[in-house]
Amino acid sequence: MSSNDIGSAAMPPHAVQDLLLGRLADAFQYLGVQARPDGFALNVFVPDADRVLCLLTGADPIELTKAPDAQGLFYTAMAKKQPYKLRAYFGENIWEFDDPYQFDSSLSADDLHYIGEGSMQRIWQVLGATPMSMNGVQGVRFAVWAPNARRVAVVGDFNAWDRRRHGMRRLGASGVWEIFIPAIAAGDVYKYCVQSADGHDLPLKADPIGYGSEHPPKTGSIVRDIDGFEWHDTAWMQSRGELQNINAPISIYEVNLASWKRASGNRPLSYLELATELVDYAADMGFTHIELMPITEHPFDGSWGYQPIGMFAPTIRHGTPDEFRALVTAAHKKGLGVLLDWVPAHFPTDEHGLGQFDGTALYEHADPREGFHQDWNTLIYNFGRKEVANYMRSNALYWLEEYHLDGLRVDAVASMLYRDYSRNDGEWVPNKDGGRENYEAIDFLKGVNTLAYGEVAGIMTVAEESTAFPAVSTPVDHGGLGFGFKWNMGWMNDTLRYMEEDPINRKYHHHLLTHSISYAYTENFILPISHDEVVHGKGSMLTKMPGNDWEQFANLRAYYGFMWTHPGKKLLFMGQEFAQRSEWNHDQSLDWHLLDAPAHAGIQTLVRDLNHLYRKTPALHVNDTRASGFRWIEGADVENSVYVYLRQGAGDDPRVVIVLNMTPVTRTDHRVGLPAGGFWREVLNTDAEIYGGGGRGNLGGCHAEQVDWMGQSNSARLTLPPLSAVILIEGEDTK
């Protein structure tokens, strides 16, 4: 049979028309080698080509016939189905390539079943753009879930963004579309051209499981090969479980990578620069962890990462995925854990994102009372759809496994738990029982924690949850949400309200420093002084403090002394460790020049010393979640605004007594009850000159006398500097 025998029957006229208009729903039904009653036919679509040859191993090239009135369509007869290459001529230019329509699907029936079932734990290994080899040919497999689409194609520089080309195959009822495109490689930019069920071309979509993205404001996905990175953190990965449990000292440095420090020209540092500068700094400061504000790809700098679209892509603003891995492994080698601020509560409405992905409300709720967040003008994931819940559960696992992250801080949990969150009557839809709890989101969060703790050893998850929802940090099999820790927003709000009061009025608000102990053991708490407290007109930590300049610094020193000795793990936002004066600005560096001033350098030294004291003193951390770890010695000295409390660890761990003087009055010979006799070393005094204080103190410690005081059988007379925290440890040996 000659090629001319096929004539215009190479493809039915309606299929040719759809192909030329970019409407051909299943290109694999017509392109490539197709069986015919009298043999096989090869149909190829190469727009703008003058000639196309089919190259077969051990045979002469076959010239394809150019279809009349169908520019770019070529066809020929084939004796059998066999591998081939194509050679296309464009004037004097020649392009030789493998036809994507000769490759079968590489996704298994099990893959598709698990995707449809919502149980594909590692969905990134199946969907997305995966560099691979098929039949000895290198290329990229593209796979995307778009169950309601009429047609999906891959477009990019490799096909001149021609939506008619590289139409994908629909894989049964799974909703997955797939194609293997030879010769594409890491670094190539692509998007999906999705056509809705009614034939409408949607705005080009970024890959929901894209490993990389273009630099904003561009929005294309980038093919990345995320296999093959050489990790050098085995020792850390094997030991981190002991460093992240409820008995461990955990002190977290919260960082926005774009504004921690900038190079000349106001350029944000790269991942590789941060791997040295940030990691060395955080380690020197004694922090145990770095918490990264969201680095999942996001189009708008001003969202601080909290409106992400590329949930599987580390932002390109600082470098490549492997360069981000280099930052993580550098932290691990320095003994620092890395936590990621993770945003499963909502996503932005940008047209290249997940919204209306296949022409329907696929990832979001269709009803705006459930699917639109009025505070943030964002869309809300529909966790009642099993594929969506699986997508985000898998995303959590992806960051923990592929990037060796040590934990996730889950953002805006309260907004997920309640259907009426920030909504008035009539603006929300009750659950099936008529209540406000969001059962689907609750099940999703339980699923995330079950998966994370079940699959990845030694990790931690943290909830930013601002309500009294019960059992947030209780294991799922004990009826809880399953988080490892929860932010103590009540402690933060109460104590900052207290500190903002003029000291003369603090006696009227004495309870604000004591109330948190009444619920301190209901959850595994982290005490958070986060970015949220130093933006939107709230001032910096320093400027929250009342009084003149000296008093503001003294207040801040005392507050940090209180924070580091109060039950609960610690979190401090960048810049507050050296008393940044201005609010945080995401468009510029922290004001590092302030460290030239002794008062600011003093605060930095204090935070460093508090971290080291906290880490080496079991009494300050091993019983954070147990009532046995804390006892008031004097919590009711309202008139003097003096607080005295005991921290104790396990067994023979030296006990620690903390004395707070929250007025600007020096109190000499102030008798304080102590739980034992002997010498009590003054291990830290926030008024020390090295911290910028006045140097008033107790000459290194005190000897307890057998004088009953404050309900204790022993006591000592102390000098309490103004606006200070004095920390005493039992006995002379503090190691």
Residues identified as active-site: 411, 464
Tell me 477's DSSP state.
G
Task: Give the span between the Cα atoms of 116 and 121, in whole angstroms.
Answer: 12
Task: Give the span between the Cα atoms of 235 and 656, in whole angstroms.
Answer: 32
Radius of gyration of the chain (CA): 31
Report phi then psi at 71, rounded to 5: -55, 125
Q: Say which residues have a Cβ less than 8 Å from residue 410's Cβ, sequence separation at least 6.
A: 342, 344, 445, 448, 461, 462, 463, 464, 483
User: Would you state the torsion angle of the CA atoms of residues 219, 220, 226, 230, taken in this order, to the nearest 10 degrees?
Assistant: -60
Helix, strand, coil: what percent of the chain each, to 5? 30, 25, 45
User: Would you state the torsion angle of the CA atoms of residues 568, 569, 572, 578, taken in this order, to the nearest 10 degrees?
Assistant: 90
- Which residue intervals of 566-639 are DSSP H helices? 598-616
Q: Taking the CB of residue 678, how many other CB atoms lie within 10 A of it?
A: 11
Left if phi > 0, otherwise alpha if psi is -120 to 50, otherwise beta: which for 131? beta
Find out whether 542 and 579 touch, Cβ atoms under 8 Å: yes
Task: Give the span between the Cα atoms of 16 and 24, in whole angstroms.
Answer: 8
DSSP E strand boundaries for 46-199: 51-55, 62-63, 65-66, 73-78, 85-90, 93-97, 128-134, 137-145, 151-156, 169-170, 176-182, 189-195
**Helix/strand/coil (H/E/C) assignment for every residue in 323-391:** HHHHHHHHHHHCCCEEEEEECCCCECCCCCCCCCCCCCCCCECCCHHHHEECCCCEECECCCCHHHHHH
The token pair that represents 421 in the structure block:
């969150």
DSSP E strand boundaries for 662-698: 667-674, 678-685
Question: One-letter amino acid identity for 457?
Answer: A
**Helix/strand/coil (H/E/C) assignment for every residue in 191-236:** EEEEECCCCCECCCECCCCCCEECCCCCCCEECCCCCCCCCCCHHH
Helix (H), strand (E) at residue 543: helix 541-544
Task: Give the span between the Cα atoms of 143 and 124, in whole angstroms.
Answer: 10
What are the C-alpha distances in Å from 718 to residues 216, 661, 731?
59, 11, 16
Task: Give the span between the Cα atoms of 348 and 184, in whole angstroms.
Answer: 30
Task: Give the span between the Cα atoms of 640 and 663, in whole angstroms.
Answer: 7
- Which is nearest to 396 in space by CA: 354, 353, 334, 444? 444
